[in-house]
Chains A and B, each alone.
Chain A
């Protein structure tokens, strides 16, 4: 099936190339570079003139360009077990070998490292390995988990806020750059603007046909991850929003006659986008992903509020740092708003925080919301942990259930 791609895809390519080029240029411009985890409070770094680079995004890039295995093998040869996170392994492998898909090299070396445990514990261990190997200063921001049945407590906020203050001191000590509140507020305002745009873009997918599928959104989220808090991010999202608005007006979308509106849970399988195309062939279209929606959480109060408090709150409540109850609530809300017919859970061997707990969520979706679900086991970057045939077979069975449900609805209606 021919799937029409977004015109803004070209803008996106330029943005990605520009981002990595600026990371390589940074040392010549004496601009400090920090390797950060995807849950890092990047607004603080941007406000201090530090360029954030995301090894996880680099992991996605390596996965999509199918160079992950050779890099993972470098790490495995150095003693890192194959059951460890593939993003970590391929980054370690790239760091050890100096090889990678960016002009044949890996990421440009950082001046400092920032890890935050609000997405998983693994990133802290991975960043420790990186710090030892590169001899680079590391700061770990500790953001406690928000278990089911508990809100973000005042003492938790105070703890994270203190950690943020400590982080600012750390960055200042290693870069000589100070945090200016006015600049921070401007960056936060840009983050908020981007988040509101991202939400609007996602909301356009409520239309039938949906103007975008997971194929578009997994790649379009790049600026929300890596460029949050910049004008470039906002400009790109404005163009993307415009394009989706035009598609909705024209009744156009990647799968114009989709029969099933689906939700995807977990990180993309970067090397197997063919699987999403297969879903399209079977008449399904992903109208929402918990993964891409997770980037719509960064709303900061305008005005005279306390930016540090605000940052502490937002970075405590991100998807992988809240309990299953809240994850189910957010999933159920997406299912309702996007009129989802079924859920595909990618049980990702590399990402335990995202994956363990999915079987509970899947059962609740079936029992409480009455929707069919399917769990497919794979990996976001390492194709050795993926079997295309059995995965398609599972999807086939899932579509049979969806079909049966549709027929019974029609039967009742006739």
Chain B
């Protein structure tokens, strides 16, 4: 029996949208059936292949829209709502089903959230995964390998030795990511909305792998395409937790044809090289990928953004930036300069967990589309 309903693909996508916002409810039920330990993780730099090879079910956690109450006593209001949501989830019981959690080092706010988890939840398998900040450093690969091997040793102690199954898991993930890239390349003419695509991206990181693979396979065959029209745009930014945010955007008269989001395609946009040593392959996958703004140097991402604009036919870029997210906010003025010089108009919409577009934001987006010029498809 699968976790997803076995009905039409459209219904499956609807289920995914519910899964993204109600992870706990669905995963807890499925966990009881599968009897597989669930390890939550916070960002796409987590080596999910390693977690699966250790016999766990990795689930990327989405704090989602939730009111903040408990977290106020532990983390200040000037941390981003994503980090605050992660802390809130620690105390409101919604993540009690977890058997473990992995925090990769991305930014200062999530580091703090990790520290709070570590202090407040003794007994839970907790791992802080150090990552190189400089992805082009001479010793970055050796350092990352050692960090991955360290995580592997800890997983072996808590669950199962991941080494024997690692190569197989790398292959399965690689196959699925290839399908995701193919699906994303067709999204401009897809019948599905940007919110649906966001839910699909979350599904890649929270469904059991075989189900995510089957779903994307089905979509590749069955999405006949009946695009709903609108001006083609690319959305860029950090973590977008709620699919409704992207649907609100599309209702303003645009169509998202590509993304560069932490919770979108950035994690699978790059096709990793293969190598015989699975640990080396794991390192290369995470070292050579398209990086987020918390990594240095930043130039690779800028190039990726421009290439995506070209390849997708996007005529504008909408930045969706989490309030208080410093890494993205520092890059923003430069990205705007580069894009405008390339003739691509852009605008920024500030988002917070649980926020949907108010009328004012919708008016801003519509005004932007009108004044930015260009043909509306």
Chain A residues in contact with chain B, CB under 8 A?
78-81, 83-85, 88, 117, 120-122, 124-126, 128-129, 132, 140, 142, 144-145, 147-150, 153, 155-156, 158-159, 162-163, 166, 323-325, 347, 349, 352-353, 355-360, 363, 377
Contact = CB atoms under 8 A, between A and B. Distances in A.
Interface in B219-260: none
Nearest to A144: B130
B134 A142 contact: yes
A193 B76 CA distance: 39
B243 to A, nearest CB: 25
A358 B112 CA distance: 10
9 contacts: A79-B336, A122-B108, A148-B119, A163-B138, A324-B118, A352-B108, A356-B108, A356-B112, A360-B115
B79 A352 contact: yes
Contacts of A128: 296-298, 330-331
B133 A124 contact: yes
Interface in B324-365: 324, 326-327, 329-334, 336
Contact of B76 (A117, A140, A324, A356): A356
A357 B116 contact: yes
Contacts of B83: 356
A218 B334 CA distance: 35
B76 A377 contact: yes
Given A121-B133, A347-B76, A79 B139 contact: no
A290 B243 CA distance: 43
A10 B56 CA distance: 64
B109 interface: yes
A220 to B, nearest CB: 28
A121 B326 contact: yes
B275 interface: no
Contacts of B139: 158-159, 162-163
A153 B119 CA distance: 21
A125 B109 contact: no
B134 A84 contact: no
A348 to B, nearest CB: 9
B75 A125 contact: no
Contacts of A325: 119
Contacts of B293: 125
Contacts of B15: none
Given A83-B324, A159-B139, A357 B112 contact: yes
A193 to B, nearest CB: 32
Contact of A121 (B73, B108, B115, B118): B108
Interface in B91-146: 105, 107-109, 111-116, 118-119, 128, 130, 132-134, 137-140, 142-143, 146
A266 to B, nearest CB: 12
A325 B330 CA distance: 30
A324 B118 CA distance: 10
Band of interface residues on B = 35 or more
Contacts of B109: 352, 356
A303 to B, nearest CB: 27
B332 A79 contact: yes
Contacts of A140: 133-134, 296-297
Contacts of A142: 132-134, 137, 140, 296
Contacts of B296: 124, 128, 140, 142
A162 B116 CA distance: 32
B44 interface: no
Contact of A126 (B132, B142, B330): B330
Interface in B122-174: 128, 130, 132-134, 137-140, 142-143, 146
B115 A148 contact: yes
Contacts of B105: 144-145
> Of B133, B140, B297, B298, which is in contact with the most chain A CB atoms at under 10 Å from its CB?
B133
Contacts of A360: 74, 115-116, 119
Given A145-B111, A159-B139, A162-B138, A125 B78 contact: no
A83 B115 contact: no
B118 A84 contact: no
Interface in B285-327: 293-294, 296-298, 323-324, 326-327
Given A83-B323, A144-B130, A145-B111, A129 B334 contact: yes
Given A140-B133, A357-B116, A166 B138 contact: yes
B355 to A, nearest CB: 16
A353 B332 contact: no
A349 B78 contact: yes
A147 B334 contact: no
A164 B143 CA distance: 15
B134 A125 contact: no
B330 A80 contact: yes
B142 A159 contact: yes
B116 A84 contact: no
Given A145-B105, A356-B112, A155 B333 contact: no
A136 to B, nearest CB: 14
Q: Among B83, B118, B132, B142, find the residue whose CB has the most chain A CB atoms closer than 10 A.
A: B118
A88 B331 CA distance: 13
A359 B134 CA distance: 31
